[in-house]
Structure 1
């Protein structure tokens, strides 16, 4: 399952995309204009489908605007398949394009292929919310500067970041990071998150939100 954003000024196309990708259990958010997208929500998505030709801000302009804010795949939906247009899109940071009109089979295959590749690549590195996770070294850096996290603090950050947008209780976080057989108290999760927030605040970063007062998520 992945969280996917689809932006296209044609509601019928958006409905088709939503129906097709929900067959693979993906969660699809749709918008008829880039103006409807709040930039702070972009890191919630695992893949973005973006129409090229839209009134107002077109797909090329929106891709250029957000490419440095997200590291997920961006796929253009376009009837413009001249080589110059394709190369321009790739130059802006697009990962692929799907030619209109497209079949739902092709759409699902292309999307799932990129999601599989993205999952493989993130075994070693994860870029999210201005942070870079070195999954092999178990380190987090900001602009190359290592953040001094304890082992458990790092584990909490990695778990929440890998599942960004999802809400977890203190008990779920404790079990995921420390293991079901660990001897300890899930209450300590709140203390660790307080310490994490203080360390990230030095860099003006606050990616962990409290939900309902008893749970947390990585925005």
Structure 2
């Protein structure tokens, strides 16, 4: 069963989350501080729940420092509700947000949805132009310079959106359809998260070539 790390400076919240997730059979480790944590400390975890507002080392700072070496989903716990905060979190590599106060049913549903995506089997690769999708490793490499492939650093959610669009190249999808296809019908996320993910994907692809994700105004998005 999955091993989940919860980092929140409020011990009562840690214990509440631990009890809730233990009901689903998960192993849960809790920490009340992010001080002195390095990427190596996250290698054994399948998912991280990370509080944004913590003293000394906040969730944003920790995510920024570890994301390049930590591959598991990172879900922020935050009382903030402004869109700019969500944009900041996604740009640092977060996969999702859970806003405080949250229901335990919502928490369990979000965690289960991300873990299902994480363990979904993939067995092949596909190439679209200069982009190569490794469907097993869930990675995209680009060969802008012949013979010199370069990995594009995407979050799990960003990769899932790209794979969904490239598998259906040329077909236009609404934000709602992308949300349901990538995150599932039981997701608690909303279309604002998809919009932010696509903005971040475009930023990461922009250095290589014309952006492959095209906006069809009034309808949605497609892979060129």
Q: Which of the five TM-score ranges fits, normalised by the shorter chain? A: 0.5 to 0.7
| TM-score relative to the length of structure 1 | 0.56
Query: Where has structure 1 moved over 6 Å in runs of 4 or more?
Result: none
Matches of 1:45 and 1:124 in 2, distance apart? 25
Identify the residue that residue 21 of structure 2 maps to in structure 1: 21
Change (3 A) 1:79 1:28: same
Identify the residue that residue 95 of structure 1 maps to in structure 2: 95
Residue 37 (structure 1) shift: 3.4
CA distances 1:9-54 after superposition (whole Å, capped 9, x unpaired): 0000000010000001101110001126353231110000000000
Matches of 2:47 and 2:41 in 1, distance apart? 13
Say yes or no: does 1:72 pair with 2:72: yes
Residue 87 (structure 1) shift: 0.5
Alignment map for 1:48-127 (pairs within 5 Å): 48-120=48-120
Residue 135 (structure 1) shift: 4.7
Matches of 1:85 and 1:123 in 2, distance apart? 36
Which one has a larger percent helix, Structure 1 or Structure 2? 1
Matches of 1:42 and 1:82 in 2, distance apart? 28
Assess if the C-alpha contact under 8 Å between 2:11 and 2:32 holds in 1: yes
Identify the residue that residue 47 of structure 2 maps to in structure 1: 47
Matches of 2:88 and 2:15 in 1, distance apart? 28
**Greater radius of gyration (CA):** 1
Q: RMSD across aligned C-alpha pairs, in angstroms?
A: 2.4
- In structure 2, the residue corresponding to 1:101 is in which secondary structure? coil
Assess if the C-alpha contact under 8 Å between 2:3 and 2:46 holds in 1: yes
Matches of 2:40 and 2:47 in 1, distance apart? 15
Identify the residue that residue 37 of structure 2 maps to in structure 1: 37
Structure 1 gap segments, 5+ residues each: 126-132, 137-142, 145-219
CA distances 1:56-94 after superposition (whole Å, capped 9, x unpaired): 010000000110111110000000110000111000000
Residue 121 (structure 1) shift: 6.0
Assess if the C-alpha contact under 8 Å between 2:121 and 2:136 holds in 1: no
- In structure 2, the residue corresponding to 1:34 is in which secondary structure? coil
- In structure 1, the residue corresponding to 2:54 is in which secondary structure? coil
